Structure 1
Amino acid sequence: MKITKIFFSPSGTTKKVVEQIASNFECESQIRDLMHFDSSYKFTKDDVVIVGMPVFAGRIPKTARDRLSKLTGNNTKAIAVANYGNAKVGDALLELVDVLGENNFNVIAAISSVSHDSIFDGVAVGRPDSEDIEKINEFSKKCMEKIESGESIESEIPGNKPYVDYKQLPFILNCDESICIFCCECITICPEKAIPDDDPADVDLDSCSRCTACIHFCPENARSFTGEAFEAKKPEFESANSQRKEVEYYL
């Protein structure tokens, strides 16, 4: 058995959850990072994939969905992971399970995990924490049992169809040119190609998905959200989502 870790992880948190699940499997593993897309790999019925997606306003990111849809299984066993910042999973986990099923992956289990919110830094600070890791490890062991039994997922996944509409956040993404060293890491990491090759301090806000990759990968912390819309939403969002939500899994 070979494990393939597939993820779209702009802030790095979804990757951490996928890797935590994979760490419980004592077998060969490899990575398919959907931030840097490669659709050339073909999966077999003997492979197991762990597919992690962040939640953007109740959906999996549009670009991530498009890239994942180009990967095809061969009745390949799949574990679905929707990782969110303690607000709401919405339809994201259901959408992920559906996309995998449509592309000939056999989903055996699914989980919604909680991580430090990538936009509003006052929400879910320090998560996943020790309690989360314990629950993720418990889930991983149950996944191994499902693989050995050959069973598919039986639980009903929460969510609605049609899925909630995609939303474009109105936040402005700012680059502090007095700090920026023009290393161009943000240009390389941006999955939407929204940052011009000749000017890393600029951003096409119509193309930008507010995924936060350029913010989290900037070595100088030169990039951040700003503007009236963001400043008004931040305290409201942090107050509304201060109550702890727990990891939930489906087998």
Structure 2
Amino acid sequence: MLYCLYYSPCGSTQEYAVKVAETLGPNPIYVDLTRSDGRLDFQREDIVIFAAPVYGGRLPVPLVEKLERMRGDQSHVITMVVYGNRAYDDALLELNSILVGDGFEVFASAAFVARHVFHPEVAADRPDKQDFQEAEAFANRAKYKYDEMDYSEPKVPGSKPYREFAGMPVAPIADPASCFKCGTCATNCPVGAISKEDPTQTDALKCIDCMRCVQNCPSQGRVLPQKVQEMLLAKLSPLAGVRKANEFFY
């Protein structure tokens, strides 16, 4: 069976994962790890795509917890990380290491670029046509390697101990001028950080700053605090005119 698993609060990781899955073969089984608890077991004959976003050069902590619940029986794996045009640092190595420890065999990996969730002008409009063409080519080459029964693990960038990233000490807040407490943010928060009883209340310790609530709000009623926005814009603006290349490992 062909499985496609992705953790994608804002959608870009899912887009890349679906493109690779559709290229690999018909009728892939999709699992949205943003929702699933990750308690899954796979068989030796399965091919599994794992796609993850990068937060501060690492995997999101909730995803790591889900990955560690999975088990493979030498199941063959393609791994992908998606980052916002800065760097993916240790994330791909972290993903591969966890899966190998879970009993999977990684035979192809990639790092793709998507629009940065904190700065809409950084990698704006990505993934684009060129990105999807490259994702398709990656899938075809990975399939060729699999058909040749070459399951060797690719060497990917990164180092141990992994880069430290504890997240940001703030969370998006409700804008009282535009938030009408519809609850869309609370319903869709992947970590349950937003109160369903009062969606203006957010647990900053639970929040992973995935920005799903900001992106999905129908009234544009959730924002980062103004000072945080200004800091992020200043830090990320130099990347706005840079097109970083996707990277592939076989």
Return the TM-score normalized by structure 2: 0.94
How do residues 182-221 of structure 1 correspond to structure 2 at under 5 angstroms? 182-221=181-220
SS of residue paired to 1:77: strand
Alignment-mate amino acid for residue 111 of structure 1: A
Asked whether the equivalents of residues 91 and 158 of structure 1 are also in contact (C-alpha less than 8 Å), the reply is yes
How do residues 162-241 of structure 1 correspond to structure 2 at under 5 angstroms? 162-240=161-239
Quick one: distance in 1 between partners of 2:2 and 2:175? 41
2:125 maps to 1:126: yes
CA drift at 1:237: 1.1
Provide Cα deviations, 1:53-98, integer angstroms capped at 9, x if missing partner. Answer: 1000100101111111111111111110010010001000000011
**Where does the alignment leave 5 or more consecutive residues of structure 2 unmatched?**
none
> Partner of 2:79 in structure 1?
80
> Partner of 2:9 in structure 1?
10
> Partner of 2:50 in structure 1?
51
Quick one: distance in 1 between partners of 2:181 and 2:141? 47
Provide Cα deviations, 1:78-125, integer angstroms capped at 9, x if missing partner. Answer: 110010010001000000011111111111100000011112111000
How do residues 25-174 of structure 1 correspond to structure 2 at under 5 angstroms? 25-174=24-173
CA drift at 1:30: 1.3
CA drift at 1:191: 2.2
Runs of 4+ in structure 1 over 4 Å off: none
Asked whether the equivalents of residues 174 and 223 of structure 2 are also in contact (C-alpha less than 8 Å), the reply is yes
Asked whether the equivalents of residues 83 and 114 of structure 1 are also in contact (C-alpha less than 8 Å), the reply is yes
Aligned sequence identity (%): 28
**Where does the alignment leave 5 or more consecutive residues of structure 1 unmatched?**
none
Asked whether the equivalents of residues 184 and 200 of structure 1 are also in contact (C-alpha less than 8 Å), the reply is yes
CA drift at 1:202: 1.3
Root-mean-square deviation (Å)? 1.6
Q: How many residues align?
A: 250
CA drift at 1:154: 4.3
Alignment-mate amino acid for residue 140 of structure 1: A
Return the TM-score normalized by structure 1: 0.94
Between stretches 6-15 and 201-210, larger displacement belongs to 201-210
Asked whether the equivalents of residues 172 and 211 of structure 2 are also in contact (C-alpha less than 8 Å), the reply is no
